[in-house]
């Protein structure tokens, strides 16, 4: 087990599955104590934590509904308590704002409730979480946002999701400038088509062909591909990057 993050602490939102689960496992593998946030699937989160511990890592679980602003603020407070109780530290070195939702509906069919929920989870939640944790993120700390290539290129059927990720891209730049004064690096990773529960269509031959037709690299992207980039941004090798959004899409729509 490599120990690039030995002694560091991390919070990963949406860590019960997909990119979040793999990011949590990778950060733990690199030596960090990882707080795994989940929304509804406690069993899946417990499985991820068990895998981390079996591999020799350490972590803890915390639940919150990110669509509710008060629960986001509560999540920040609980994270501080968990870290202090488990590690004795009062600092959070790495915050990975990964959790997100996507509703597949065209522009004309997108309901107000869909738009509101999408922005609540994808934009308001990471904004508030970062705002309420920044006081315990030290000089040299990292904030990593998972955004998407759809903020910059058209993909049919997800205008609300794409717009929310455009807002995240803007937030990355502004926070990098502001928090850089405290020595905090703020970056993002923009996946393309990654085979997760959110992109179940990639499980079919037709879905794989559709993705390959958009990509330079002819294989299906996996959560591990994005977790590796997150680990780079969170680790010592990413120390001179801030305000940067890494396109990790296999060369989508070049």
Active centre residues (catalytic): 161
Separation CA 252–CA 56 (nearest Å): 36
- Residue 165 has phi, psi (to 5 degrees) of -75, -30
Q: How many other CB atoms are there within 10 angstroms of residue 27's CB atom?
A: 31
In terms of Cα–Cα distance, which of 31, 36, 34 is closest to 7? 31
Give the number of C-alpha atoms closer than 13 A to the C-alpha of residue 229, restricted to the C-beta side.
Answer: 25
- Residue 79 has phi, psi (to 5 degrees) of -60, -45
Virtual torsion, Cα 136, 20, 151, 141, nearest 10 deg: 20
Tell me how far the alpha carbon of residue 250 is from its chain's centroid.
18
Separation CA 64–CA 73 (nearest Å): 9
In terms of Cα–Cα distance, which of 111, 85, 79 is closest to 97? 79
* Cβ 144 vs Cβ 227: under 8 Å: no
């Amino acid at each position: 087990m490599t120990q690039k993050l030995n002694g560091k602490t991390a919070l990963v939102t949406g860590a019960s599955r997909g990119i979040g689960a793999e990011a949590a496992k990778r950060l733990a593998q690199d030596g960090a104590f990882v707080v795994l946030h989940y929304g509804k699937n406690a069993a899946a989160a417990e499985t991820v934590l068990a895998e981390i511990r079996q591999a020799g890592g350490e972590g803890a679980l915390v639940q919150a509904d990110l669509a509710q602003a008060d629960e986001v603020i509560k999540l920040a407070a609980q994270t501080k308590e968990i870290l202090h109780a488990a590690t004795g530290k009062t600092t959070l070195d790495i915050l990975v704002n990964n959790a997100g939702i996507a509703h597949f509906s065209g522009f004309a069919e997108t309901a107000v409730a869909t738009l509101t929920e999408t922005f609540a989870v994808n934009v308001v939640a990471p904004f508030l979480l970062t705002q309420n944790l920044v006081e315990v993120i030290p000089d040299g700390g990292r904030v990593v946002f998972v955004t998407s290539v759809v903020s910059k290129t058209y993909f049919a059927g997800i205008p609300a999701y794409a717009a929310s990720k455009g807002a995240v891209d803007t937030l990355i730049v502004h926070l990098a400038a502001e928090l850089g004064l405290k020595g905090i690096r703020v970056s993002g990773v923009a996946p393309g088509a990654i085979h997760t529960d959110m992109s179940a269509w990639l499980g079919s031959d037709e879905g794989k062909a559709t993705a390959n037709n958009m990509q330079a690299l002819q294989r299906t992207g996996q959560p591990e591909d994005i977790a590796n980039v997150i680990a780079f941004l969170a680790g010592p090798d990413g120390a001179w990057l801030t305000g940067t959004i890494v396109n990790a899409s296999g060369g989508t729509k070049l």
